[in-house]
């Protein structure tokens, strides 16, 4: 028998109950228009996944029931089984639930059993896991729902839903990733369709893990897997990357976009349950199935094939085991760009302002904005009404305007503002690069010198103290040298916010701009930036991306976006341009000042966070990895220097600008990387252990044929 199934991805927004309800109903209407009888939506789609501590408020649960009441009474939800997500209080505990509804009634409520509580996830803070496996209880419905459904109580717990022609089981997000996933036992007990409602966020090079697990699950068990995911920025540092899909027997039948500006996306597939049953005829599977413990079933009096058995003219969707993925460079171009668009339109501001230094980091930020403008232009060209409406509002167009943002450079000239903030230490080369890049992408560009402001602050200090600080090249101490650099950097932040508030006014517009920061993940980890400088901004699109990946992205964008100017940024030596040139006339170099390369920083960051290494275990791992070209003593020096500089700068993470999460070793102190910010910076015990071990290890670099050139 053939049936049509649906998985959706929605760009929900935390606590936007009316908007979330509208998007849910729209997705159901699209599903029905395609002949579907089963619709699955993202995790906690009614209130939005990112409500965080608002989940502890009774109001959030109350308003979720009110939205569910609207859905139950809607024409859209008639004649189709809908799997909808919301928080529910049961016996004074909050649960993350799926509510299975059909024709104005609730069939079952399935609470989440295994919580995501690592990295960016803190579900145990807000929800209780359901640990009564294969057990159902009765849940007392609120009065507003009783009056609609005529039900006083409904099944609540770990059960499955049976229709006339198949059995449906629910698996919730993290449960797919656990070693003993629920789909295994459900599949052995006859469940043929698995639904997974997720709120899985984007991270570079991560999507394949999710898809591989779904393929493996349906290959081993046989079955149809409907994976629905949230997409977009719902008010936090995460970009949920969609990629909803339908899989059957190890084949991917349909898949949604990973990056999109669309609020609602629905994928459908026409599948044959007979193929699932044929896949399950292996002897070993039948033996395990016969021994499987039974799930309690709730029943819905309907057929997913619409009662037709064979749907004449509905060709079965063909699957493929091959899956294509975006390259990391494409992920950088698309993920932060989509997140920035959501942030811009939902903050109801008039655009972005970027201090454009002529260096590669601010260049990367500007290029991501260019990518955002390209996505807007593409969506507008395809007639996306929501994107067009948002673009008109952001640009200040009247309600009856016919403006279409179909040219990315023209659109950028309206919403993207850049400024080169030079001092006496800035070079003509960086000033020209900034101007040329702004012109290439269409930004509204300004150029200024800040020497007057810097001199004024230095003058105030000298007037009060009677002391005149000097740079190191002029005989000043390291404290003087650092303070004179920091005042330039911090004044740039002050000027940036002044310009962001008033530039629209100077152009005859109303409103203000969001300030963009440009500190990459490696510099944040090392603390190589000034606290409250122009890295302090409203949002930072590259704060979760390594310098190494940013360089590759710029090289890719030079060709892909036809921006030849980007090549000059790749060729330039990274420099802050905050100090005078020395006697050798050599400019300030970031890597020389940091005492480590960006490639080394990426390695340190991954070992510290992903491999969970302290100083001693990091040294042990790097002796294995780097021992052929660095001596144990040299490796020890590098590890100790990293941890010392990391420790003395960790306090900066408490004020870091919110950035879209992209990298598994990000140091964001808000939720992802929880650490002290006052360290014993000398790590005396750990460093002594490292030194003792280094002295006793052989130096392989002295052996014949050893390569002492560089890190790979």
List the catalytic residues.
43, 112, 173, 357
Nearest-CA neighbor of 47 among 17, 84, 82?
A: 17
In the block, which residue shows the tokens 């999109």?
Answer: 260
Cα–Cα distances in angstroms (integers) from residue 653 to residues 340, 394, 672, in the given order: 22, 32, 11
Instruction: Tell how strand 2-10 and strand 38-40 pair up.
Output: parallel
Phi-psi region of 313 (alpha: psi -120 to 50; beta: other; left: phi over 0): left
Sequential DSSP letters for 105-146: EEEEEEE--S---STT--HHHH------TT-EEEEEPPHHHH
Short-list 305, 302, 420, CA closest to 359: 420
Structure tokens at 343: 């942030």
Cβ–Cβ < 8 Å for 261, 231: no
Query: Helix H segments across 507-573?
Result: 521-526, 547-560, 566-571
Beta-bridged to residue 310, according to DSSP, are: none
Query: What's the CA gap between 64 and 45, in Å, rounded?
Result: 9
How does DSSP classify residue 175? G
Among the listed residues 5, 75, 533, 480, the one whose alpha carbon sits nearest the alpha carbon of residue 267: 5
Sign of CA dihedral 502, 503, 509, 515: negative
d(CA 352, CA 366): 10
How many beta carbons lie within 10 A of that of residue 310, not counting itself?
A: 10
Is residue 489 within 8 A of residue 534, CB to CB? The reply is: yes
Sign of the dihedral through C-alpha 399, 377, 390, 410: negative
Find all residues with CB under 8 Å of 60, minimum gap 6, and list them: 15, 47, 51, 54, 87
Strands annotated E in 500-603: 514-515
Cβ proximity of 514 and 497 under 8 Å: no
Helix (H, G, I), strand (E, B) or coil at 681: coil
Considering only the C-alpha atoms of the chain, give the largest distance between any 2 of them, rounded to a whole number of Å. Answer: 92
Check: CB of residue 686 under 8 Å from CB of residue 672.
no
Asked if 420 contacts 445 with a C-beta cutoff of 8 angstroms, the reply is yes
Please state, in angstroms and rounded to a whole number, the distance separating the CA atoms of residues 355 and 349: 18
Dihedral, CA of residue 148, residue 154, residue 156 and residue 158, to nearest 10: -110
- The DSSP code for 200 is P
Please report where in the chains the tokens 């609540």 appear, as a residue: 156
DSSP state at residue 301: S
**Would you tell me the crossing angle of helices 385-394 and 328-347 to the nearest 10 degrees?**
60
Distance, in Å, from the CA atom of 220 to the CA atom of 47, rounded to the nearest integer, reads: 35
Say if residues 127 and 94 touch (Cβ distance below 8 Å).
yes
Strands, sheet with 136-140, edge to edge from the N-terminal-most edge strand: 136-140, 153-157, 105-111, 93-102, 81-90, 38-40, 2-10, 264-272
First-to-last CA distance in the chain? 55
105 forms beta bridges with 102
Nearest residue to 425 (alpha-carbon basis) of 353, 373, 481, 369: 481
């Amino acid at each position: 028998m053939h049936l049509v199934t649906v998985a959706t991805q929605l760009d929900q927004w935390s606590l936007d109950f009316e908007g979330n309800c509208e998007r849910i109903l729209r997705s159901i209407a699209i599903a029905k228009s395609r002949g579907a009888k089963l619709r699955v939506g993202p995790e906690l789609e009614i209130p939005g996944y990112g409500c965080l501590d608002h989940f502890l408020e009774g109001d959030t649960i109350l308003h979720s029931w009110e939205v569910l009441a609207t859905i139950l009474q809607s024409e859209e939800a008639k004649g189709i089984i809908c799997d909808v997500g919301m928080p529910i209080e049961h016996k004074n505990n909050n649960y993350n639930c799926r509510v299975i509804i059909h024709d104005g009634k609730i069939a079952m409520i399935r609470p989440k059993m295994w919580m995501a509580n690592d990295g960016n996830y803190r579900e145990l803070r807000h929800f209780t896991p359901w640990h009564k496996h294969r057990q159902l209880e009765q849940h007392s419905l609120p009065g507003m729902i009783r009056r609609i459904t005529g039900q006083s109580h409904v099944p609540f717990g770990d059960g499955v839903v049976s229709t006339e022609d198949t059995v449906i089981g629910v698996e919730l997000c993290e449960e797919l990733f656990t070693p003993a996933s629920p789909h295994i036992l459900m599949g052995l007990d006859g469940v043929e369709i698995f639904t997974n409602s997720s709120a899985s966020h984007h991270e570079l090079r991560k999507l394949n893990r999710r898809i591989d697990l779904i393929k493996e699950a349906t290959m081993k068990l046989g079955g149809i897997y409907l994976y629905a995911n949230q997409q977009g920025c719902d008010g936090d540092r995460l970009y949920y990357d969609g990629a909803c899909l339908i899989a059957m027997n190890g084949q991917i039948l349909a898949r949604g976009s990973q990056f999109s500006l669309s609020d609602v996306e629905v994928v459908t597939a026409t599948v044959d349950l007979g193929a699932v049953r044929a896949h399950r005829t292996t002897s070993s599977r039948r033996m395990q199935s016969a021994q499987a413990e039974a799930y309690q079933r709730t029943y819905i009096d309907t057929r997913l094939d619409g009662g037709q058995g064979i749907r004449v003219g509905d060709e079965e969707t063909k699957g493929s085991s091959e899956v294509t993925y975006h390259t990391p460079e494409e992920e950088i171009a698309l993920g932060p760009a989509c997140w920035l668009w959501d942030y811009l339109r939902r903050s109801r501001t008039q655009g972005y302002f970027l201090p454009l230094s002529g260096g590669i980091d601010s260049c990367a930020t500007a290029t991501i904005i260019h990518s955002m403008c390209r996505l807007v232009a593409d969506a507008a060209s395809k007639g996306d009404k929501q994107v067009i409406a948002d673009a008109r509002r952001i640009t200040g167009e009247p309600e009856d305007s016919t403006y279409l943002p179909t040219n990315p450079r023209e659109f950028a000239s309206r919403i993207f503002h850049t400024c080169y903030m030079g001092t006496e230490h800035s070079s003509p080369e960086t000033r020209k690069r900034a101007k040329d890049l702004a012109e290439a992408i269409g930004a509204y560009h300004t150029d200024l010198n800040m020497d007057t402001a810097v001199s004024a602050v230095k003058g105030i200090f000298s007037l009060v103290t009677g002391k005149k600080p000097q740079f190191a090249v002029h005989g000043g101490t390291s404290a003087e040298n650092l303070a004179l650099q920091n005042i330039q950097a911090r004044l740039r932040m002050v000027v940036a916010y002044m310009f962001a508030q008033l530039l629209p006014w100077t152009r005859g517009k109303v409103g203000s701009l969001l300030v963009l920061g440009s500190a990459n993940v490696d510099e944040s980890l090392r603390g190589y930036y000034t606290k409250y400088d122009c890295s302090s901004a409203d949002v930072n699109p590259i704060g979760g991306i390594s310098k190494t990946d940013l360089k590759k992205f710029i090289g890719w964008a030079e060709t892909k976006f036809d921006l030849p100017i980007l090549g000059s940024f790749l060729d330039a030596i990274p420099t802050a341009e905050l100090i005078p040139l020395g006697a050798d006339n050599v400019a300030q170099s970031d890597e020389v000042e940091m005492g480590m390369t960006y490639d080394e920083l990426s390695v340190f960051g991954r070992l510290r966070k992903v491999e969970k290494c302290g100083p001693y275990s990091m040294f042990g791992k790097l002796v294995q990895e780097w021992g052929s070209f660095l001596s144990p003593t040299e490796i020890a020096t590098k590890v100790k220097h990293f941890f010392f500089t990391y420790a003395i700068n960790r306090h900066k993470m408490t004020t870091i600008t919110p950035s879209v999460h992209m990298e598994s070793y990000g140091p964001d102190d808000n939720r992802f990387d929880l650490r002290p910010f006052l360290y014993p910076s000398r790590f005396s015990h750990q460093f002594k252990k490292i030194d003792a071990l280094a002295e006793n290890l052989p130096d392989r670099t002295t052996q014949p044929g050893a390569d002492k050139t560089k890190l790979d």
